Structure 1
């Protein structure tokens, strides 16, 4: 597969009132497929730590995005705006394909002797049992539970958009000769995260315009995501059969790798979370839709999907 085409320089997105940002937006689920037969275990050559820190995405996203889909399907009857309903349906379609694409990477890792299933079982328990639907609730309490989970999704989607924007603007991965198929997966997924970056937030505001809900969603989801990512990185490095447990992740080493452009900068990630807490914040202020659509027009996997 050829290397993904380079993306244009980001164009800052302009802020706009919630509910009007996506006027005319049509979210298209792209039925992409990837061939993982040639993917090396360390797909960033000689960089097992950077490889496995990014690989945590494959641990978290299949179960997480299936949960997003379930929550948004439960919220559909509560939507009173037809444009937003169409955007939510497009979001559901894209997220379902994201989950399957990352699941294929997990299956490939298992074939290479790295068994991700113990950690994935814990993630499945979290999303299905702890954050899942609660049977036996009254209609009013069930509605409140759905809105609360939508707020959690909106906060997580803020970080996936941040990561997507980073993936689209990460020349360090190209310089390091990262596997082109994995780069296309990360950038195709990242572009779609930027493309639909406002949908979860707009749904949350549609169901509850209060500021407290947004803050609570971030205060729960932000620390939880960091915790899961740190645990996931430790797990992947310990489970790698070629490392024999010799490599341990540290914040210092993560910062060093990030300065070389192989990982998102932890400080910028924190600042991104703090931006979400501003009263006037809207996700349209993150990333560039034109850049995201530009990559989707050149992505090998997305172009192949369009030709089928």
Structure 2
């Protein structure tokens, strides 16, 4: 099995296999307003909602991979997993800080939603306590395929973060850099989750079943989180109709992913020939990570 995490396009410089490692980052959100894309109150609320979901979700990734790692005898894959764990742990820690340093300081208490996410990822999706080792192992493999399905969407969103129009609309630089740094690392490690899942149980049926579970669950949580922020917005509640109008306005402006792009990405995942390297560009991701203001600030 190959674990060279490189994307191949005729016009894309291929950096070759990329060694995955966590990067220290330094962000300052004290001057970042809740509506950090001027003139578009809904679009930043939709993006900011990810801060509610990501800390617990990525801690779940880390916990599941730490459970799987001792069972992996392929050293190349194990090394990639350790890099993935380091990056996801840093993402969880950084977005956790956003919850309190950004959302709370802008008058929005994330605690109620945070408790729900803790219940989902720690109780519902936590490790199995079944006395039979085979049942526990099967449960682990199912969770690894769920992570592979989720990571397909994080790669799609990462590619979007690197290629959207936020800067043209004078989006806040710190929040733009947060999601571009995170998105670039998602593109950089996009092959790992798929390779881990296939290593434990290469099955088109498992892949399809995981996606059929992940897609509705993800849409439900994204919708619920966006509503949570919209209804608690200190500038005034954003009603249901206004929320959808704002979403379509943002998607047309290139500030949010279009529904068509999400549907297209879902169909891509069901193709038997699917490989994660078909999403995004490794060279673009690595180039952004070398120039990210937050990564450079921490490096200094």
Q: TM-score, normalised by structure 2?
A: 0.92
1:188 aligns with 2:162: no
Residue 233 of structure 1 contacts residue 249 of structure 1 at CA under 8 Å; is this kept in 2? no
2:3 matched to which residue of 1?
A: none
Deviation at 1:223, TM superposition (A): 1.2
Q: Is the 8 A contact 2:55 2:95 kept in 1?
A: yes
Give the superposition deviation at 1:253: 3.8
Say yes or no: does 1:51 pair with 2:40. no
What residue in structure 2 maps to residue 3 of structure 1? Answer: none
Counterpart among 261, 267, 271 of residue 264 in structure 2: 271
Unaligned segments of structure 1, at least 5 residues: 1-11, 16-20
**Alignment-derived partner of residue 123 in structure 1:** 117
In structure 2, the gaps of 5 or more residues are 1-5
Is the 1:296–1:302 contact (alpha carbons within 8 Å) kept by the matching residues of 2?
Answer: yes
Is contact 1:255–1:266 with CA below 8 Å preserved after alignment? no
- Measured against aligned partners, the alpha-carbon deviations of 1:61-91 in whole angstroms (never above 9, x if no partner) come to 0000000000111111221210000000000
Assess if the C-alpha contact under 8 Å between 2:42 and 2:243 holds in 1.
no
Are 2:66 and 1:67 equivalent residues in the alignment? no
Distance 1:244 1:24, change over 3 A: closer
Deviation at 1:133, TM superposition (A): 1.1
Which residue does 1:238 correspond to in 2? Answer: 231
Q: How far off is 1:46 after superposition?
A: 2.6
How do 1:157-172 and structure 2 match up within 5 A?
Answer: 157-170=151-164, 172=165
> Secondary structure of 1:25's match?
coil
Distance 1:76 1:96 in 2: 15
What corresponds to 2:283 in structure 1? 290
Q: Does the CA-based 8 Å contact 1:25-1:87 persist in structure 2?
A: no
Give the Cα–Cα distance (whole angstroms) in 2 for the partners of residues 142 and 151 of structure 1.
15
Dislocated runs of 4+, deviation >6 Å? none
**Counterpart-to-counterpart distance in 2, 1:306 and 1:87:** 23
Q: Structure 1 residue 132 and structure 2 residue 143: aligned?
A: no
Structure 1 position 262, deviation (Å): 0.9
Aligned to 1:156: 150
Residue 80 (structure 2) pairs with residue 91 (structure 1): no
Deviates more, 1:21-30 or 1:278-287: 21-30
The residue aligned with 1:223 is 216
Superposition deviation, residue 112 in structure 1: 1.9
Q: Does 1:174 align with 2:172?
A: no
**Conserved in 1, the CA contact under 8 Å of 2:45 and 2:230?**
yes
Alignment check: 8 A CA contact 2:141 2:201 kept: yes
Number of equivalences:
290
Query: Please, what is the CA RMSD of the aligned residues?
Result: 1.8
Q: What SS class does the counterpart of residue 274 from structure 1 fall into?
A: helix
The answer to whether residue 186 in structure 2 is matched with residue 201 in structure 1 is no
Q: Shift of residue 250 of structure 1?
A: 4.5
- The 8 Å contact of residues 234 and 248 in structure 1, kept in 2 or not, is answered as no
In the alignment, is the contact (CA less than 8 A) between 2:40 and 2:246 conserved in 1? no
